[in-house]
Structure 1
């Protein structure tokens, strides 16, 4: 049984609304159903969703603070004041700063920019930066994607005679700074109707107010920041991003064009998904491992050569970032294992490490969250100062910003959203900080919050998803937060082919079939699942549809997000080399899919066959075959966990049918069974005995043994007359001896000429041979399908 990573929940879509949308908008039912599941209730809403123009955006003067900000900026322009654009180092901050540069150039302003260094300075407005601005003659600071929490810093700016206009979209604190103007739709008194703008979206509204009709190409920059900052692609954001992506397909911005080319994306085919997974990580890499100014220069340069150089530099930084992340993730996973070995993991995971690059801790937090599905805080500790900087990532239903607010006394600074946040504190406060978060989580988190849920749009058959349907689904783009790429469930699809692809076999490629219809499917990062998804396996899959274009050919393709095989399975690895090493690897790699932590993994073997097993698999449930009891627990783990076993590894074949019966009885409900026992030479196979065969052997034996003969000699001669193995012939002699047809003594055999007549099945050895031969026929020599059916039949009805 392959468990899904998520609980699948299908969005509801009323059939009446689906029918209405399909009819009035001339849509295929599957596309109309996808729209209805996204909350579109009428054809009017549907037309706006599909064909909405920039006329649907809101008046920027509805934004509180705009009436004060615009005249102040106009005055600065008229008086040739020097303006400082103060940004942030993430992709939204980079985009916001870049947009303001385009605006300043358009307005002919005298300006500078400042973005703090993530590692050396940290998030937010800093007094030393204001001192520098004052020395440069700055009299007006405009913050983008930051500033709403900078109470003390803005007070300091005021004391220097510098006016500050804040444009931000982060959660406002209880006490707001006394800035010249605060522009943030999330301020409780702000009447602006759409609250989901990114920092670059708020900056764009300021540009709209100043320019009235900004160049449409500026929306390319808005798209990047909005998508990268995981803002909802609904309402006004959808309109801005949709037009931005369309503009990007004909971009004249050299930086955007080069970044797309470096990412392997055809500029004319760019999508919001490409921005999220290819462009945004490279832009973010600049601020994570270097300085974000490099990415700002890329997005604002007008020179092709400079753009090419910077794009390749960001690509290199992104590769370096990936390696740094992987190293920290492995260290963090080791910490989890060591800190909570054998214990329940707390509702919030807080991990801190010396030297961890604070530029990537947010990504690490996301990966640890995905592994354990609970809120995570990852902090890098400066070993000299003891200062910690970290990032938090949360799960639906748990507001991490509110959680941080509950223990704000432990931190020097914090800020963020309900799903992601950042903070700084001293290592001496780490324990208080962790206790405070756990205390809050124990009250706020419920059991259902800790179950990962993946929302699917609908169930379908492979026959439902033609290329034309996939093309029409694309009308629902741009896809992103709150308008996700449609996820579709396909049930009972049979795997026709399975392969590991990519570097080191990291990815999984399947060919799935339902009836006569076939589709290729890819699962990134899941190459290890090939070990438990052999051809012929029936699976349920949840995935996203795409089109694979190659050499002018277009084929439907499924990008798998989750997969399950909802039935008991047997995995045939008979004769595998280094089985103990493989068991360790499987338990580590497949635990989320087989739910097999060491305490729920059972290993059955013949005593003394694997002398090092206790030291290598000490934390698993070890069982050995026993002549009397069938199987016996060999360690303490086995004595306490038998009923909770999720995977069984069989290292050796049972010696008797009774041992097999005991094995099947003890583990009849185990979802996954791995057969790892050695194979045996066919020349040593046992055959299921029959009376005619035994009659012929009896006659042959009578001819051979007129006088006592050495047993080995008898076996040699009988082998020449039959096709039976020596092992089989020894078993036959055991039967004849038990029935008093022969006598054995000192390695010699004497034939009894007139024995008492007895039926063969009166012999216990005959009955055992029958059972043993049948067992070995299946365990050692049957094909995988026959072996599986036989084992499954043995578990049915056993309790």
Structure 2
């Protein structure tokens, strides 16, 4: 990591949120999140139920509820067709459980990442039809499956799509397409995860039948899927995750209990960040390396013995995933061009495991602050994943190169794609041209948004408690970052394996703070007697004791 561009947000206008009677710092942090009146502040801090949208405001929801209700009454077999990531697995689990609770005959299906690829495919639709399925409901996929939906209809299958991915050009001709990103702006919240969209379908069904109280149990999985998919934790997502964390802390799901045990976590002390860094990678691992069904079974099993076996299996898969990622990340680095004066990276090979190309792309995009495309080269087809930066929309770029592709889809900063092998060099040039045009004149360094400029001696335990009122934290609602100027360095050490980290003691007036800078050890020589330091507040756990500390994100000589 190198130094980043600092963007210090201006102080709020005088009298900001005056009627809310809030501490000035909290008012400033809320203003930074676009909250400008006391009613909004109360809703954000109290995480009011009014943050939930009426599910019937989602386009096609009435059609979907009518068709599912008919299937339940007539005893049809319903297939829930989920994506193989944590979002898709969690959404599939809640839909399967919910419809089964309503007396439905339900089966779940996940395509194999390598042999079938992402989304619907004709072979799986044939297999489902042969099992007696008459209605297919997708979770976290389907929005780009135009030909597959048409094939399903010709085969006598009705399809309901629940998805949240970017809509690039029209909608498949499904019986219903439930996606908050549809052009119709009737639904008040745009950023639901795939699990969230599936939950809204269940909510509409249970609301119609007067059984909404039974949905609370499912909020643990809604929370895991939502946090895992890195959607903004604002609006309705904030409500779902806050309530879901409460459900998760006392969950009766033996699979979650066993997975937490294997990961060394305590469910009653978990925060959203623990899902991001611990639970989500484990749930994703089977789908990356083999098949997602074991993650699904772990979530829905009632057997303690099966839960322990599956949790241990998932733990091994995650360890294997970490090892493979390290090996192929090192190999990818060897292929990097000299220097970083390039607008885009596109690297791959014949034996790249398809399940980890997205992880490698994400790590390199974070490191070099460039769009990164990593691919697995097959005999006839190239499959890959892209991770990007806010300045470059990879879905739009792929859309503009779509004549070279077999399929693509995703979000502005994360996408998947497939193309005939003979088109690879042309795609590389097409993407490079677009990146050069859009990025060549920009300062391509990651920016660091600083929410408040505060003397370090004013930081105290009550500040940490005040900041905690903004939780749960995640994308769209980050942990607040502060800047303290002219802090005196009274101790500086490189710590950790290979001296990767930086441990400091900082003084401002009579106040002394311990501070840790992860992955900043290589910058130790740049530490001067006085520094301006950017950080957030954390609880440092050491030898069973908890103390408040600074998590250093960047620093510079005091000016």
CA distance in 2, matches of 1:504, 1:511: 21
Whether the aligned pair in 1 keeps the contact of 2:394 and 2:415 (CA below 8 Å) is yes
Q: Distance in 2 between matches of 1:540 and 1:426?
A: 51
Shift of 1:493: 2.7
> CA shift at 1:53, angstroms?
2.5
Task: Give matches, 1:212-251, under 5 Å.
Answer: 212=207, 213=212, 214-251=214-251
The residue number in structure 1 matching 2:386 is 392
1:64 corresponds to 2:59: yes
- Corresponding residue for residue 5 of structure 2: 7
Cα displacement (A) at 1:476: 0.2
Residue 554 in 1 paired to residue 549 in 2? no
SS of corresponding position for 1:203: helix
Match of 2:481 among 459, 484, 487: 487
3-state SS in 2 of match to 1:447: coil
- Name whichever of 498-507 and 297-306 sits farther off: 498-507
**Correspondence list, 1:84-483, <5 A:** 84-189=79-184, 191-212=186-207, 213=212, 214-337=214-337, 341=338, 345-382=341-378, 385-445=379-439, 447-448=441-442, 450-483=444-477
Deviation, structure 1 residue 549: 4.2
| TM-score normalised by length of structure 2 | 0.94
Separation in structure 1 between the aligned mates of residue 394 and residue 350 of structure 2, nearest angstrom: 24
Is contact 1:467–1:547 with CA below 8 Å preserved after alignment?
no
Take 1:139 and 1:506, find their aligned partners in 2: how far apart are those partners? 56
2:508 corresponding residue in structure 1? 514
* Alignment correspondent of 2:532: 540
For the residue of structure 1 that corresponds to 2:100, the secondary structure is helix
Q: Distance in 1 between matches of 2:245 and 2:388?
A: 29
CA distance in 1, matches of 2:406, 2:115: 16
User: Residue deviations 1:62-86, cap 9 Å, x none?
Assistant: 1111111111111111111111100
1:437 Cα offset (Å): 0.9
Flag the 1:143–1:476 CA change in 2: closer, same or farther, 3 A: same
Q: Contact 2:9 / 2:449 at 8 angstroms: preserved in 1?
A: yes
Separation in 2, partners of 1:51, 1:427: 53
Using a 3 Å threshold, how does the CA distance of structure 1 residues 43 and 320 change in structure 2: closer, same or farther?
same
**After alignment, is 236-245 or 512-521 more displaced?**
512-521
- Bigger-Rg structure (1/2): 1
C-alpha distance in 2 between matches for 1:476 and 1:547: 16
Preserved CA contact (<8 Å) 1:200 1:226: yes
Kindly tell me: are residues 83 and 17 of structure 1, through their superposed partners in 2, closer, same or farther at Cα, counting changes over 3 Å? farther
Whole-angstrom distance in 2 between the partners of 1:128 and 1:202: 26
Counterpart CA distance in 2 for 1:138 and 1:223 is 29
1:156 match: secondary structure = helix
Q: 300-309 or 171-180, which moves further after superposition?
A: 300-309
Alpha-carbon separation, structure 2, partners of 1:399 and 1:142: 29
Deviations 1:277-304 (A, max 9, x none): 1111111112112211111111112223
Question: What displacement does 1:504 show?
Answer: 4.7
Q: CA deviation at 1:533?
A: 5.7
Does the 8 A contact of 1:101 with 1:300 survive in 2? Answer: no
> 1:157, CA displacement in angstroms?
0.7
Structure 2 residue ranges without an equivalent (≥5): none
Aligned-residue offset at 1:13? 3.6
TM-score, structure 1 length as denominator? 0.67
Is the Cα contact below 8 Å between 1:346 and 1:438 reproduced in 2? Answer: no
1:74 matched to which residue of 2? 69
Distance 1:304 1:100, change over 3 A: same
Question: What are the Cα deviations for residues 70-106 of structure 1, in whole angstroms up to 9, with x where unaligned?
Answer: 1111111111111110000111111111111221232
* Mapping of residues 658-697 of structure 1, within 5 Å: none
In the alignment, is residue 563 of structure 1 matched against residue 559 of structure 2? no
Return closer, same or farther for 1:498/1:319 CA change in 2, 3 Å cut-off.
farther
Q: Shift in Å at residue 566 of structure 1? A: 6.2
Deviations 1:124-165 (A, max 9, x none): 101110011011010000001000111111111111101001
Distance 1:191 1:360 in 2: 37
CA contact (8 A) 1:17 1:36 kept: no
Structure-2 separation of matches of 1:449 and 1:68:
48
Report the aligned-residue RMSD. Answer: 2.1
Q: Cα–Cα, structure 1 residues 194 and 449, in superposed 2: closer, same or farther, change >3 Å?
A: farther
SS of the residue aligned with 1:548?
Answer: strand
The aligned counterpart of 1:781 is: none
Q: How many residues align?
A: 554
8 Å CA contact retained: 1:17, 1:41:
no
Contact kept in structure 2, 1:254 and 1:303, CA below 8 Å: yes
Mapped contact 2:168–2:399 kept (Cα < 8 A) = no
- CA change 1:259–1:526 in 2 (3 A) is farther
Q: What is the Cα deviation at residue 503 of structure 1?
A: 4.3
SS of alignment partner, residue 166 of structure 1: strand
**Cα contact 2:9–2:451 (8 A) shared by 1:** yes
Secondary structure at 1:215 match in 2: helix
Cα distance per residue 1:658-684 (max 9 Å; x no partner)? xxxxxxxxxxxxxxxxxxxxxxxxxxx
